[in-house]
Amino acid sequence: MTFSNPEPEQIRRLLHSVHSIAMVGLSPNQSRPSFRVASGLQSLGYRIIPVRPRHGGAEPSGAGVAAAHLLPQSAGFASNVTEVRPMVAEVLGEKVFPDLESLPELPDIVDVFRAAKHVPAIVESCIKLGIKNLWLQEGIIHEEAAQRAGGAGITVVMDRCMWRDAVKFGVHPRREQAS
């Protein structure tokens, strides 16, 4: 069986109904897609909750401080230097959490900006915590995990940009809450 995204009207209703978004893999680097999408969603009125999984402090993330090809081996630098993932306390003015289990309250939706290989573990966390909505950003596809989540009653949107869809459907939670 192949996964299918909800119909456009269902996606519009979903975006209208959620206000808090736990963004797994949100980078503090303003040039990264996760930061730009989170910033855009925040400007529309969504509350962004940054989740930055820590893997021993080092991950070739593109937001690091050293790259092996820039350090000369002749000067004594090892050729296997990896980029260092910066540890940050806040992104977009919101406290950063290491995982979904550490959140003080359940978000309305989890938006994933991590490689597809991490999606099954994120789905298991969502199931365990009772999170009802999961969004896998454009380019992130994991059919089996999406089916597992759907089978557990989680609404799943996969391989779409949440910010683009929110703009497309004209959803602005801040304005709607004030009404």
Considering the chain, what percentage of its residues have pLDDT values greater than 90? 73
Per-residue confidence (pLDDT) for residue 88, from 0 to 100: 82
* Residues 28-64 pLDDT 10s: 999 999 999 999 999 999 999 999 987 333 333 333 3
Mean pLDDT of 130-152: 98
Domains of the chain and CATH, by start: 8-52+88-178 (3.40.50.720), 62-86 (no CATH)
Specify the pTM: 0.80
Per-residue confidence (pLDDT) for residue 71, from 0 to 100: 44
Structure-model confidence comparison of residues 15 and 66, the more confident one:
15
Is residue 75 over pLDDT 50?
no
Instruction: Return the number of other C-beta atoms located less than 10 Å from residue 151's C-beta.
Output: 9
Alpha carbon distance 111, 135 (integer Å): 5
* String of DSSP letters for the chain: ----PPPHHHHHHHHHH--EEEEET--S-TTSHHHHHHHHHHHHTPEEEEE---STTB---S--S--GGGS-GGGT--TT--PBPPP-SEETTEE-BSSGGG-SS--SEEEE-S-GGGHHHHHHHHHHHT--EEEE-TT---HHHHHHHHHTT-EEEESS-HHHHHHHTT--HHHHHH-
Confidence of residue 174 (pLDDT cuts 50, 70, 90): low
